[in-house]
Chain A
C-alpha cells in the first residue's frame, strides 16, 4: 500500500481535492448567500433570477458543468485564468475551471440550505425588525441571516461533504486529483486490485468524517436558544 501511495503521489492527489474543496466551498458560500438573498428579496425580478439560477444549476449534472467549463468556456470562448506562458498553464487553468464549475453548482445547494435556515427564524423576528425601522437589507444583515446561518449549519455541512466527494469529478478535464491517481493505478497496477479502492475510500472517510463531526458539534453549540 505504501509503495502505491508513493508511486502515484496519492497524498499530493488528495491535497488537490482538499484545495479544490476549500476554494470552491468559500466561493460557493459567498455566491450561495447572494442567490439566497435574491430569492428572499421583496423584488419580483430578483426572486425570479434567484429561483431560475437554483433550478438550472441544481438540476444539471456536475460532470456536464465542469466539462462545459473546459470545452465551452476555455476551448471555444478562450476563458483563461492564468497567463499562457506559465509552465503549468494547463493544470492551473483547469484547476480554476473546475473551481468555477464546483462553485456555481454547489452555490445552488448552499442557497437552498440558507433558505431552510431562514425558515427556522420566527416571523416575529422579521416583524420586530421592521417595526423598529430597519430597512430590508438591514433586517436581513442584522437580524435574519445571522440566525439563519446558525440554523443552517447542518445542511451546509452536508453540502460541504457532498462537495468534497464531488471534487473527484474534476478529473473529467484532467485535474490530477485522487480520481486521476485512481485511474492510473487501475491502468498500471492491475495486480493491486481492490486495494486501490480501499485506499481511496479510506482517504475520503478520513476527509469527510471530521466535517460531519464538526458540523454536528457546531450546530448544537451555535443553535439559537428559543
Chain B
C-alpha cells in the first residue's frame, strides 16, 4: 500500500515536470499542473510573468463610445484605450476587453478583474474614495437629443414634452433635481431610443458623446440631432485601482495624444457622423490632479 502511494506520487511529480517543461509560453497548460504539488509549479508561475497582457474594461452597449460588435470592440473609448495601451507597451492582441457596466466599475477595479477602465467614467469625489483616475482625457457635458426638426434648445425649454434617461445615472438625477421636467426612466438608452422613435417621448438626455453615438447610428440616420447646449461638465477619466502606479504615466500619454492630434482624429472617426464637435472651451483637458 505504502509502496503504491509512493509510486503514484513519483509518477505525478514526473508528469508535473514534463508539463512544466513544455508549458513555458502558453497559459493552457498551467491548470494541469495543479495536481503535481511542489516546486515545479512555482517555477513555471514565475517564468510566465514577462508575456502578460492587460485587461481593459469598456462599455459593450454604447455606440460610438464602447460597443462590442461580435468580437470587435469599437468606439471612442476603445480607440483611446488602444492608444494608451500601445504607449504603455501592450500591442492590440495583448488586450483583453471586458464589459464594465456603470454600477460595477469600482468593484471590477478593486477586485483586480480589470487593470483599467475606459467607459465614459466621470471623475467624481465619491468614486475617488475607492479608485483613482488618470486623465481626464475628454470633457463631455450633459445635453439633449431631439428630433431633427425640433426647436427645443435646453431642459428649460421642454414644456409638456417628456424627457427620457437611464435609471441611476447622473444625468437623470440632475434633471430630476434641477429641472421640473417629466422624466421617463428606462434601464438602457436603447429603450429611450425605441420610445423616441414612436414619438411619445420628445427628447433624451445624457452626456453629449453618448447622444452623438446614438444619433450617428445608421438606423437613425438624420432623424435626431444633439442640441449642442451642454449644462454640465463630465470629466472622463481612466479608472485605475488605488494601488496602480501608472497613473502619472498615463496622464503624460494622454497629454501627448492631444498634442499630436490623435485625440481629434479619434473623436472625428467615432462621432463625426453626427456632426459632433467637442466643446472647444473645455477640450483638450488638462490631465492630472486625480491620481492617488
Contact = CB atoms under 8 A, between A and B. Distances in A.
Contact of A74 (B102, B183, B191, B200): B200
Q: Which of A67, A89, A190 is packed against the most chain B CB atoms within 10 Å?
A: A190
B117 to A, nearest CB: 13
A130 to B, nearest CB: 53
Nearest to A190: B106
5 contacts: A75-B198, A76-B198, A90-B184, A172-B187, A186-B168
B103 A187 contact: yes
Interface string B204-219: 0000000000000000
Given A67-B191, A186-B103, 7 more contacts: A85-B160, A89-B182, A174-B185, A180-B167, A183-B168, A190-B130, A191-B126
Interface in B123-144: 126-127, 129-130
Interface string B192-210: 0011001011000000000
A183 B182 CA distance: 20
A189 interface: yes
A173 interface: yes
Nearest to A174: B185
A67 B186 CA distance: 9
B35 to A, nearest CB: 36
B210 to A, nearest CB: 15
A202 B224 CA distance: 44
Contacts of B185: 173-174, 180
B130 A187 contact: no
A189 B126 contact: yes
B173 interface: yes
Contact of B126 (A78, A183, A190): A190
A174 B200 contact: no
A188 B103 CA distance: 10
A200 to B, nearest CB: 13
Given A183-B103, A183-B168, A188 B186 contact: no
B167 A90 contact: no
B170 interface: yes
Given A71-B194, A172-B186, A191 B167 contact: no
A171 interface: yes
B246 interface: no
Contacts of A180: 167-168, 185
Contacts of B129: 190-191
A177 B261 CA distance: 47
Contact of A90 (B103, B106, B173, B183): B183
A3 to B, nearest CB: 14
B265 interface: no
Interface in A36-79: 67, 70-71, 74-76, 78
Contacts of B103: 183, 186-187
B127 A190 contact: yes
A191 B106 CA distance: 9
Contacts of A90: 162, 182-184
B131 to A, nearest CB: 8
A183 B194 contact: no
B107 to A, nearest CB: 9
A138 interface: no
Contacts of A190: 106, 126-127, 129-130
Given A184-B173, A190-B106, A71 B187 contact: no
Contacts of A189: 126
Interface in A162-178: 171-174
Contacts of B126: 188-191
Q: Which of A67, A74, A183 is packed against the most chain B CB atoms within 10 Å?
A: A183
Nearest to B169: A187
Contacts of A174: 167, 183-186
Contacts of A184: 167-168, 173
